[in-house]
Structure 1
Amino acid sequence: MLSIYIHIPFCVRKCLYCDFLSFPASERDKEIYAAALLKEIETEAFRYEERLVDTVFLGGGTPSILQTAHIEKIMDTLKNCYRFSSKPEITIEVNPCTVDKEKLSRYKAAGINRLSIGAQSVQDSELRALGRIHNAADFFAAFHMAREAGFDNINVDLMSALPGQTAERYLETLLKVTGLKPEHISAYSLIIEEGTPFFDMYGEKEGENGVERGLPSEEEERRMYEETGKRLEEAGYCRYEISNYALKGRECRHNTTYWRRHDYAGFGLGASSMVENVRWKNTARMQTYLDAYGKGKIHGNVKEEIQRLGRAEQMEEFMFLGLRLTEGVSRAEFFEAFHEDMEKIYGPVLQQLLDNGLIDTGERVKLTSYGRDVSNYVMAQFLF
């Protein structure tokens, strides 16, 4: 099996917190990029002719900013060049105010069967503080249009610990979103990344400056975190990964590809891949990418940071990626992959984490509730 990620780097404008590879562009530049992207997808197909594609994820940026015809051509090219499983999961990320009913209906007709809507909040003041281009009404309208267009698998992205946000207002957002019954909710805390406008505005989030300038206190952020799991569980959502919740059977298959270390191929500017324990990234330089695949060229080399993972690195990833999942990692699967008992490789680490109440052990090793709270620390223990 193979998963495919396609990166669309364009957005209407950069959000104040965003450090993703994304930027505004003219319609002409989008058209030129889309043509090069199609050429890359076609050119690389021979590498995967023996694979069945089980999931596709169009991410960004804001993929829905492209003209619908470009998205349809991407879908047509994928269908023509790759073999698909019988029931693939095909997701596109959308901003609420970049879609309408016609666009959503055409996505559905093209074979896209899952939407990921970047709501972040349903409080207009919080959306303005984030620099989002939509308001709450745009989100609700987009959600209902998606249902009318036939989408029965929708994710909603939500963020907590936002500027000016209180726990009460965050819980109000949770209540309104769960009332819509999306199949999946991604709920995560704002991270202040260096190099973003938010970093200049708030500095280090852990420092006092952030609180002084309007970010929630550590205690309030903690309350939001705890209430997220509680309220979503009450609404029927199962937490299957640190930041992801789903109705039964609606976990995101594409995302679990990453956490379970299955193979995925990335196309487009800056896209990452991991195939047969080799990792690489496409160039993040637009001109280099266009020089490789633009203007009808059929051969290009945009791969950078190529790394063949050794056995120890594969073990590390098996542990720290797999532990993101609520189900944890399987001792039997570890042995099948590496022909070694997990205890032989990580015995002292496992015992230390068990003694500190950070993991549960058995046939599977998984984080406790406390372990999820300090997951970065736990996962760091598995690095050689």
Structure 2
Amino acid sequence: MRIALATYSTKPRGGVVHTLALAESLARRGHDVTVWTLGRGGDTTFFRPVDKAVRIEAVPFPPVDGEDVGQRIARSIDVLGSALAWHLATAPELPDVVHAQDCISANAALGAARGAGVPLVRTVHHLDAFTTPQLVACHDAAVRHPDALLCVSEAVASEVETAYGLTPTVISGAIDAARFAAASRSDPAARAARRAWRADLGRFILAVGGVEPRKGSLDLLEAWAVLRRHRLDLRDVSLVLAGGETLFDHRAYRAAFDARAAELSAELGAAPVVLGSVDDGVLPSLVAAADVVAFPSTKEGFGMAPLEALAAGVPVVARDLPVLREVLGEAALYGRSVLELAEALGVALGGGAPSPSLGRAVAAGFAWPRAAAQHEEFYTRVARPRTITLPTPDAALIA
């Protein structure tokens, strides 16, 4: 099959990571796969090397001074949509399906795919509650108007059905468990990589995903502060946050986080370590070096980061959300409030987390080869058969 996947960014956000892994897995199954994206900030490819069997189309998207979030969203849709429309109108062979992974790429692909007669699939990773009018419209249209919907968990599919009256097909997300398991091994290279992180960070709680409201960063900061105040045996445990910024404007939230971190530093004599984006090649060793991986997100569609931690044999403390219960099961500890998260972190740091073998078994159940095979079967059902127009028989010849 010819498959076009579309995503909104080249940066290591969850949907982008999902898109690349899916593309590579489909290519290994013999499909012709192209990934379309916006090349923000001069990017011409993604944050990590991509299998050469996958073609990359990074549409230039230079910054515009003074542009607000709504304007940037509208321009993103227009630029990516125009590039897709031109390609579909001029390509010698059309894709069998266009598959968008977020509301921006879905809106960009809507007109282009319809105009070319190609079905548009959308994966709804999670539902958001936006306030920016352009984002509200983008989010809504990207659920209502594609030809077919996928979700990466039953929990999100249920939310979509409740909110929109639509029934998506569920194909669970996946991770490269072997890559994170390798980072936890006892061979010299893996041990040295972990020691390097520990030399810089000491004992630490790790959160992957950046500082933003949906990731529950402020709640995690407060939970860590509770541990520092009330657990003398854990006062040497630092808090480390890794992950880059999103397309959306979370400057006010980041400012509130930084201000609270400064207050806690004055009170407790310690401040969180914010690493920003971490190179994909060293991320597994960072995860494997952590004492606990915290995942206090207030809204999620799947949960790659905690599964990757489980694959590395690292305890996980997650927000008690239906989707995370669905994916992580009994392999994680859970909390809803700041105090509950702090208590669960204390238990994990004290050796009371579920067994690493259980976590590894759960993580191994979410493998890309199986997810790619399920996508292949879904595309086959969704793709429209190509119609072939045969010449009209000559009546005289028939006679």
Give the TM-score normalised by the residue count of structure 2: 0.31
Higher helix share: 2
Higher strand share: 1
Give the TM-score normalised by the residue count of structure 1: 0.32
Larger radius of gyration: 2
